[in-house]
Every structure is written in structure tokens, then in C-alpha cells.
Amino acid sequence: MRRFGLIGFPLTHSFSQKFFTEKFAQLGVKDCVYENYPIQDISELDAILKKPDLCGLNVTIPYKRQVIPFLNQASYAVNDIGACNCIEIKDGTLTGHNTDVFGFEKSLLPFLHAHHSKALVLGTGGASAAVVFVLNRLHIEPQYVSRNAAEGALGYGDLTEEVMNEHLLVINTTPQGMYPDTDSFPEIPYQYLTARHHLYDLVYNPAETKFLAKGKVQGATVQNGMEMLELQAEESWRIWNS
């Protein structure tokens, strides 16, 4: 038996367990199981790691950063971002990866045009670090936007028409709009969005958030976070089988 699982808290509506259970059935894989490990403290990870047939873990909120001290080695992205969402376990060695990076980059690429040379990144949490890592790799200049405007981050009130015209890619990495808080949206000046803007919402539930709906009204192209979510899971599976 090869055992895989997800650590995080809470794990009430886990995408991953359903995804992998369906994947094993589709592939006819009978010796794999994917379980949820809703741990309330990272110290509980030690007990999970003792399972002799454990081959891989996904990591979600709030442990993507806290899991790093448990790793024996880590990818360049994990070290750079300071967040790990996929652990490969081989012969007792734990290797950390960040497959959010893969998922975000691969899902964004088909929507990019030459004029997408500067991006607004709404939010400054863990997901935004993965987004900024990818933007830097793609030579797209990132600009953080935060509720707490500080050095390096604009406030929402700083988003003038000029700033919006300059940044034709806008990425929401805040949880605003996510179920059940579906009426909320980031406070950007939507009236300055145009058909040249592309809006990417990392939120995937609902499929169309207020952020995306308001962008569509202005003629912007939009995408939600579902493809990223699926791609990061596919990449985890590839890593565990490599």
C-alpha cells in the first residue's frame, strides 16, 4: 500500500482527497490511498510521519510555512518563497516542493500577452509569495497591494487610473469573495479596467467571484483558481511517482 494525504486545518471541504480518490479509480490504481489529516497543531505531524507506508503529503492552510523545519531538503522555490505544499517521502527523506508555483504558472501562460508586463498582486499572504515568484520568473513586474500600505506595497486607495492603466494583469490572492463570503470583493477601482486587462482570481469557489464578474463587465479577460488547483495536484502526483 502507498499512502498519501493532506495536512491542514480545517479540512471540511477538501478538494484533494476527492481528486486523488477519483484519480486512483480512473487509473485502476488499487494500492494507493489518500487520506485527510486535519491536525490542530503542527507538532501532530510527527505521528503522521511514523506511518510506515506514507509516500507523500500535500500541505494546506495554515501549515505551508510551519512544515519547513520538518523537511530534510527543499526545492529552490520552497526556499525562496518560504512555503511548501507538497512533500515527497523516500527512504525516510522528506523533500519539500511548491506545486502552487507550477499550477499558477501553467494556468496563467495561455492568457498572457506582451502588454502584460506589470501586475498588481492583491494580498501579501502565502499564496501571493508563490504568485510573485512566478511573475519574477516570467519577467512580469509585480506590485503588491495591501490593506496595510507599507514599503513595497500600495494601498487600495493608491490605485489611480494611471496605476490601473500601467498594470494590465491583476491577481487576487486574498480570500475575498470565497464561499461563504461571496458578496465581498477586493476594493479596486473597477471602472478603470479595460479589455486589455486580465483578472486572475486564486479563489475557485464560487467559479465566478464578484471580482471576476466586475472585471468581465469592463471587458477584461478573467480566470479563476480551479485550473491552478488541479494542476498543483497533478504535479504532486508526478513528483510522487518520479
Ligand X SMILES: NC(=O)c1ccc[n+]([C@@H]2O[C@H](COP(=O)([O-])OP(=O)(O)OC[C@H]3O[C@@H](n4cnc5c(N)ncnc54)[C@H](OP(=O)(O)O)[C@@H]3O)[C@@H](O)[C@H]2O)c1
Chain residues that interact with ligand X, rule: CB under 6 A:
61, 100, 103, 123-128, 146-148, 173-176, 178, 202-204, 225, 228-229, 232
Q: How far is the CB of 47 from ligand X (least distance, A)?
A: 25
d(C-alpha 106, C-alpha 101), whole Å: 9
Question: Please, which residues have CB within 8 angstroms of residue 186's CB and are 6 or more apart in sequence?
Answer: 122, 145, 156, 172, 174, 176, 177, 211
Which CB atom, from 13 or from 50, has the smaller least distance to ligand X? Answer: 13
Catalytic positions, written as ranges = 64
d(C-alpha 139, C-alpha 134), whole Å: 9
| Strand extents, DSSP E, 106-187 | 118-122, 141-146, 153-155, 169-172
d(C-alpha 68, C-alpha 84), whole Å: 7
Which CB atom, from 137 or from 147, has the smaller least distance to ligand X? Answer: 147
**The C-alpha cell that represents 215 in the structure block:** 472585471
Residue nearest to ligand X (CB): 125
Which CB atom, from 115 or from 238, has the smaller least distance to ligand X? Answer: 238
Q: How far is the CB of 123 from ligand X (least distance, A)?
A: 3
Q: How far is the CB of 22 from ligand X (least distance, A)?
A: 17
